A and B are shown apart, each in its own frame.
Chain A
Amino acid sequence: MEDNQKFSAEQSLQVIQAMIQKAKHDVANNSFYLLLWGWLIFIAALLNFGLMKFTRFEQPYLAWNLVWLGAIASIIKGIKDAKKITVKTFVGETMKVFGISQAILYFGLFFFFGKYDLWIVAFPLYILVYAVTCFFMGALMQFPLLKWTGLLCLPIMVIAVYVSFDWQLLLMALAILISYIIPGHVLSVKEKIQNK
């Protein structure tokens, strides 16, 4: 691009539009986190259910230790991406802060549920958090599918309040499949097309 001062007003407008479009397309790839956490929670919930229903294993909740893998993978990916990044967008920065806030929220909830033995309300509340998370992220990323799949978690949360703990596990898996995994795969395809 030249330093040309004799370009027309129309060309000027074209430059502005083209550059804003280029900056917009450089938004960080977010499907990784949706798919990582989506699949981990999905597997952990089904594993917990399977261990409870079909084995005599006394500590089926140990299946949730899978989330530590997610935490480690998220930290490694975060550090790697920070090294590669050449531009900071407002959306990217908000997503980062939102991700950290979520980690604090999940840790806090886990602490309270454990301390007061409130595991019967844990999964409906987690499903509610997924609904809010997806709705917010969908709006921020201008990805309407994520907003709608987040809202679909609300009726699942209501049902989860009225069923037993083992059924809550299956509803949790269903909620994460709808809210994280399906939109995560759609977003991944969109990102691949965009990055071509």
Chain B
Amino acid sequence: MFKELDPILHSQLRLAVMSLLISVKEAEFTFLKEKTNATAGNLSVQIQKLKEAGYIEIIKQFKDNYPQTICKITSFGVNAFEEYVKNLQSYLTNHK
């Protein structure tokens, strides 16, 4: 038996954002946009959903007079991501 995959993470863009954030300390919105090739609007919506789930933290600040959005994975987000990968692995093992 395997658990159902977390619907928050089982979305291509949200999963991509989480996979990027788990590998770094923090990343700017522009970095996530460049690496995922997503549109700014779509990315904004998806990171907001991750924030509402408590998986990431969003810091809005100014850098050299320009607005800057920084995203950081939370410890809750790390646990959810690890759980998702574990479930994914067990799903793939059972379906081989």
Which residues from chain A sit less than 8 Å from chain B, CB to CB? 1-5, 7, 9-13, 15-16, 18-20, 22-24, 26, 83, 86-90, 92-93
Bound-state CA distance A89–B35 (Å) is 15
The smallest beta-carbon distance between A52 and chain B, in angstroms, is 47
Which residues from chain B sit less than 8 Å from chain A, CB to CB? 5, 7, 10-16, 19-20, 22-28, 30-31, 34-38, 42, 45-46, 63-64, 85, 88, 91-92, 95
A residues in contact with B10, CB < 8 Å: 5, 7, 12
- Chain A, interface SS category: helix
The smallest beta-carbon distance between A98 and chain B, in angstroms, is 15
The smallest beta-carbon distance between B12 and chain A, in angstroms, is 5
Bound-state CA distance A122–B28 (Å) is 44
B residues in contact with A1, CB < 8 Å: 12-13, 16, 36-38
Closest 8 CB pairs between A and B?
A: A19-B19, A23-B23, A86-B31, A86-B28, A87-B27, A88-B25, A87-B31, A4-B12
Is the Cβ of B95 less than 8 Å from the Cβ of A16? Answer: no
A1-B36, A22-B20 given; A88·B92 CB < 8 A: no
Bound-state CA distance A95–B25 (Å) is 13
B residues in contact with A3, CB < 8 Å: 11-14, 42, 45-46
Chosen A-B contacts, 17 in total, with CB atoms closer than 8 Å, are A2-B13, A4-B13, A19-B35, A20-B19, A20-B20, A22-B20, A23-B20, A23-B24, A24-B23, A87-B24, A87-B31, A88-B24, A88-B25, A88-B26, A88-B27, A90-B24, A90-B25
